[in-house]
Amino acid sequence: MIPFLFSTIGAGAVFLFFAIMMVFQLLFVAFMMPETNGVPLEELSDQLIKK
């Protein structure tokens, strides 16, 4: 798939697409994923499994 994309839209566009997706992933992790540093596993499981 990647060689096909390189030949059709160019390597720069493919890497730009991947770079933009990585920025979106970074924003998702920074703002949507819960902080778990220093949280005991029992408390973490209670937070993640909303009853």
φ and ψ of 33, to 5 deg:
-85, 140
Q: How far is CA 3 from the centre of its chain?
A: 24
Q: How confident is the model over 3-36, as pLDDT tens digits? A: 999 999 999 999 999 999 999 999 999 999 888 8
Tokens of 30: 């920074």
Per-residue pLDDT at 20? 98
| Residue with token string 């991947």 | 18
In one-letter notation, the amino acid at residue 30 is A
Reply yes or no on whether the pLDDT at 51 is more than 70. Answer: no
Per-residue pLDDT at 34? 81
In one-letter notation, the amino acid at residue 5 is L
The CA-atom distances, in angstroms, between 32 and each of 3, 25, 37 are: 34, 10, 15
- Domain boundary assignment for the chain: 2-48
Q: How confident is the model over 28-47, as pLDDT tens digits? A: 999 998 888 888 999 888 88
What pLDDT band is residue 1 in, cutting at 50, 70 and 90?
Answer: confident
